[in-house]
Amino acid sequence: MPTQDDRAKLTSIEIEALQATWNLSDAHTHQTPSRYEQISIIDRLPDMYAEASRIKQSVADMQVASAYHRLAGQGTVDISRSMLCYSSSQALEIVANFLRLRGLSRIALLEPTFDNIPDILRRQGSSLIPVRLAGDWVQRMEEVILSGDAGAVMLVAPNNPTGDVIDRQATEKIAALAAQRDVILIVDASFRLFDSRACYDSYEVLDGAHVPYAVIEDTGKIWPTLDMKVAFINCSADLLREISDIHRDFLLNVSPLICLLVAEFCRSSMDDNLSSVRDLIAGNRQNLKDAICDSGLAGSSNPGSRVSVEFLRLRKEISSEKVARYLSMRHGVWTLPGSRFFWAGTEGLADSYLRVALSRDREYFSGAVAALAAGLHLAYRSEL
């Protein structure tokens, strides 16, 4: 029988949940390809393999970088400075190494966020300054920059788990002030493609502000590619040599086959304006709302979220750690407890949230949500 440690890291819970009946924990894509994706992309894998074995690595890199950034609305990015990685976590590890070598030990980081982000930064010796993503958080971030206490600031936009979008105006304000104070701006934009409001041209803003920056883009949570994915580190010209030196120590290249595969999914989504991705998420979110939120079992922390996870606020003041463990052990439904997202503990009710992943086939998700609703009903009635 599965057991969840009260303070297990989120990825550890996700790994256990891979064997579960109802896995709503990790945000990776577990849905099956559409018929169009099957015919136009998956069935063509032998041809892609043959092409990948012939072409130069630089051609494969250029194809996927060009296709992704065009789809994401990042028209002014200089893809000659794009460094490819196998995951956004690997990309962040590289950036964190760079920050350590630069001697930047104080970093301002948004809260809540997935716990491997603060863990990676701390492992590289960083001391973190929490900035709560609520109220006038932009002003608080500006105060941190003005104080001179942070050598770098990190945004997660759109946010995981809340889905909050950091709009162009907020990015402009933070970038301009960071440039004035020579503070490095790090952005994790891994969930960008889910929300059109996040697809304004970030690089136009950042390069226009002349701020030193590194942006992490990711394709790993968008399409049903069985975790064959590409992440990108895009940085300002002044940081390129230092970051690329570290990047080369981590990997020689990303498989050209994976590059061609992801490029094809990008092109497919250009044809349908990402509807195959966004419609599935929207439909599953509505299903969750109907079964969980409208029945009063939990509320959405952000009703406007469009990313592939939903951050639910439990109805009763009951530990989400205990609820998540109860749901997994008694009902086979695995979710993520909210407490680990509040890595600095600045939210008094941090342990009142559950994160639910939405990238699942509709039929599977409906069954999982029904089990989740039944489990929550019983959880509220029992003494956990």
Which among 226, 242, 271 is the end of a domain?
Answer: 271
Alpha helix stretches (DSSP H) within the chain: 10-17, 35-40, 45-54, 57-71, 88-101, 116-123, 137-147, 168-180, 202-209, 240-250, 256-271, 275-288, 320-331, 362-381
Cis, peptide link before residue 112, omega less than 30° from 0 = yes
**Domain stops at, among 226, 250, 271:** 271
pLDDT by residue (tens digit) across 274-307?
Answer: 999 999 999 999 999 999 999 999 999 999 999 9
Burial readout 204-228 (b: 16 or more C-beta within 10 A, e: otherwise)? ebbbebebbbbbbbbbbbbbbbeeb
The residues of the chain scoring below 50 in pLDDT are: 1-4, 6
Range of the domain at 327: 10-27+274-381
Considering the domain architecture, whether residues 14 and 55 belong to the same structural domain is answered as: no
Split into its structural domains, the chain has a count of 2
Cβ distance 369 to 292 under 8 Å? yes
> Within 10 A of 304 (CB to CB), how many other CB atoms are there?
11
Query: pLDDT at position 315, please?
Result: 87
Residues 337, 309 share a domain: yes
Contacts of 62 (CB under 8 A, 6+ apart): 79
3-state secondary structure of 117: helix
Task: Name the nearest CA neighbour of 184 among 114, 241, 105, 127.
Answer: 105
Q: Do both 121 and 79 map to the same domain?
A: yes
Same domain, 346 and 329: yes
- As a residue count, the chain comes to 384
At 74-108, the pLDDT tens digits run 999 999 999 999 999 999 999 999 999 999 999 99
Q: Are residues 229 and 358 in the same domain?
A: no
- Residue 253 within a domain: yes
Residue labelled with tokens 């701020």: 211
CA distance 353 to 111: 14
Instruction: Answer yes or no: are the C-beta atoms of 347 and 132 closer than 8 Å.
Output: yes
Q: Are residues 266 and 285 in the same domain?
A: no
**349 in the same domain as 265:** no
CATH number at 298 reads: 3.90.1150.10
Q: What is the pLDDT of residue 348?
A: 72
Helix (H, G, I), strand (E, B) or coil at 353: strand
In a domain, 64, yes or no: yes
The answer as to whether 4 is a domain residue is: no
CB 160 within 8 A of CB 311: no
Whole-number Å distance between alpha carbons of 363 and 154: 37
H-type helices in 289-341, by residue range? 320-331
Provide the pLDDT for residue 316: 80
57: left (phi over 0), alpha (psi -120 to 50) or beta: alpha
- What is the predicted pLDDT for the residue at 7? 59
**Distance of alpha carbon 96 from alpha carbon 100, whole angstroms:** 6
